[in-house]
């Protein structure tokens, strides 16, 4: 929430600066939307602003075409620095605060462990007679904490305990959960131990499966009830590279990697339930992709009414597909249609799309660029665009770093997201040596993309 509020502040300050500069230096009103869109490299914002101009001046086609052309000219001149500005800002902030990337990465890792504690695994021996005879499902500590037992060793035989298993003195359990919760369970039941589970008798194995069957998606683990159906416990769920605690309320998603513990026969049952078909992960689902694009185009075409405005605004062909993608990815699937894209395909689409987009912008901007700069006060457009690009994000970045003590890695990702700058994100990932900035970028990019689309149209309607 904080990151998004700060990003809206950047975008809003930029719109106010654009309006103020346009009024102060007596620029043509239609130049405002192009100046703003170029400074924030929001091509969807330019398209939305030009559409608003076309609707506003529909009664005078000649004036309408001239206004749309002037907006495009302002955008073309200011866009190149809009690309470079966020990258220069990251470099500037790094110099100002004398950032050491190794320290920032270390602090970020510590903060991440506090926010999402890693799953601890501890073997314990039951030595407290007061705990004997209590079924695991009735134990108050196990009910209150996120701890479960994945293995039990009793009389030299290893098995997977169930909720009906009664605790006995001399039992050995493998407890999994947060470090503090596991320590509390160990202290209540007995003491830490190091039993040799590997040499114990009993048909207990551990296997990783990939969730690829659609009929188990969006169903909580308690409904699947694998421990009763197959005698199999879920050790952990890895989603997008992050280990998650397998709560009973957790709903599986397509592509989850599930660690299952149980007998060979039980594991085969679970494999059949989950699918475990890696080939499905490696094949891009083209039909869902195109359905999502079509739905996104429809969403982007819906007019939005804002009180006090005579014209309605739209989020356009970039905002619509993005909103549709967010909603569809949250749903996960609709019947047999799965809204999933393999990581490699996702990366290819992103890199290829960005390369084509920048090439097209370069071809459009480069044609007679110097001539356009020299004519019609182009140099001043560059100056105003640079100020709109740099000043708002610089001021808000100072607040984020000084007041909120924001980690520089997070700050870089947030800055790239607030400016909707994919090149800045690639630069931030490069200097961080990881994709850690992408987390902050992903948190703010949707709202940071939609807000300038609205602002670009408001600059047309209100100027």
Written as one string, the DSSP assignment of 71-84 is HHHHHHHHHHHHHH
Phi, psi of 247, deg, nearest 5: -65, 155
pLDDT value of residue 429: 92
Nearest to 324 by CA among 302, 357, 307, 346: 302
Q: List CB contacts of 81: < 8 A, sequence separation 6 or more.
A: 39, 382, 385, 386, 389
Over residues 18-54, the pLDDT tens digits come to 999 999 998 888 899 999 999 998 877 887 788 888 8
Can you tell me the distance from the alpha carbon of 67 to that of 78, in angstroms, rounded to the nearest whole number?
17
CB 8 within 8 A of CB 445: no
Taking the mean position of all CA atoms in its chain, how far away is CA 368?
39
Return the number of other C-beta atoms located less than 10 Å from residue 359's C-beta.
Answer: 10
CB 13 within 8 A of CB 432: no
Can you tell me the distance from the alpha carbon of 170 to that of 175, in angstroms, rounded to the nearest whole number?
15
CB 300 within 8 A of CB 317: yes
Longest dimension (CA), the chain: 92
Q: What stretches of 211-269 adopt beta strand conformation (E)?
A: 233-239, 242-244, 257-262
pLDDT value of residue 284: 75
DSSP label at 192? E
**Parts of the chain with a pLDDT under 50:** none
Can you tell me the distance from the alpha carbon of 23 to that of 4, in angstroms, rounded to the nearest whole number?
29
pLDDT value of residue 317: 74
pLDDT value of residue 377: 63
Q: List CB contacts of 229: < 8 A, sequence separation 6 or more.
A: 269
CB 129 within 8 A of CB 87: no
Nearest to 311 by CA among 71, 52, 60, 67: 52
Give me the domains of the chain, ranges plus CATH numbers: 2-110+284-462 (no CATH), 213-276 (3.30.70.1450)
pLDDT value of residue 283: 77
Return the number of other C-beta atoms located less than 10 Å from residue 417's C-beta.
Answer: 31
């Amino acid at each position: 929430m904080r990151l998004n509020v700060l990003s809206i502040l950047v975008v809003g300050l930029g719109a106010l600066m654009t309006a103020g500069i346009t009024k102060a230096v007596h620029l043509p009103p239609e130049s405002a939307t192009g100046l703003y869109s170029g400074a924030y490299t929001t091509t969807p914002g330019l398209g939305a602003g030009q559409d608003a101009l076309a609707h506003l001046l529909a009664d005078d086609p000649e004036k309408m075409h001239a206004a749309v052309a002037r907006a495009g000219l302002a955008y073309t001149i200011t866009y190149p620095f809009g690309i470079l500005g966020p990258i220069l800002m990251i470099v500037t902030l790094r110099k100002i605060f004398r950032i050491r990337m190794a320290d920032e990465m270390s602090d970020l890792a510590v903060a991440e462990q506090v926010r999402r504690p890693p799953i601890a695994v501890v073997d314990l021996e039951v030595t407290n007679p007061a705990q004997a005879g209590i079924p695991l499902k009735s134990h108050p500590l196990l009910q209150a904490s996120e701890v479960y037992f994945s293995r039990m060793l009793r009389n030299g035989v290893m098995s997977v305990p169930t909720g009906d298993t009664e605790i006995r003195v001399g039992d050995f359990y493998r407890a999994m959960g947060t470090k503090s919760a596991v320590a509390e369970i160990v202290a209540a039941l007995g003491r830490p131990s190091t039993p040799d589970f590997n040499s114990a008798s009993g048909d207990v194995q551990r296997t990783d499966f990939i969730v690829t069957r659609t009929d188990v998606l969006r169903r909580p683990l308690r409904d699947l009830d694998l421990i009763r159906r197959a005698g199999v416990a879920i050790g952990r769920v890895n989603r997008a590279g992050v280990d998650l605690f397998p709560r009973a309320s957790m709903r599986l998603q397509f592509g989850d990697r599930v660690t299952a513990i149980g007998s060979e026969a039980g594991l085969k049952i679970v494999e059949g339930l989950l699918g475990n078909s890696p080939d499905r992960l490696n094949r891009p689902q083209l039909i869902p992709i195109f359905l999502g694009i079509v739905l996104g185009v429809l969403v982007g075409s819906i007019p939005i009414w804002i009180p006090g405005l005579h014209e309605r605004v739209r989020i356009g062909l970039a905002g619509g597909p993005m909103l549709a993608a967010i909603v569809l990815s949250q749903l996960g699937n609709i019947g047999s249609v799965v809204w999933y894209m393999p990581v490699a395909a996702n990366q290819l689409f992103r890199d290829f799309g960005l390369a084509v987009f920048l090439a097209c912008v370069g071809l459009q901007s480069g044609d007679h660029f110097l001539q356009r700069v020299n004519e019609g006060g182009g140099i001043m457009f560059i100056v105003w665009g640079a100020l709109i690009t740099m000043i708002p994000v610089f001021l808000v970045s100072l607040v984020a770093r000084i007041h909120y003590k924001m980690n520089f890695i997070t700050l870089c990702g947030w800055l790239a997201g607030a400016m909707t700058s994919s090149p800045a994100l690639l630069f931030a990932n490069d200097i961080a040596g990881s994709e850690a900035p992408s987390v902050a970028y992903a948190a703010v990019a949707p709202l940071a993309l939609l807000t300038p689309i609205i602002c670009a149209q408001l600059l047309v309607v209100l100027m």
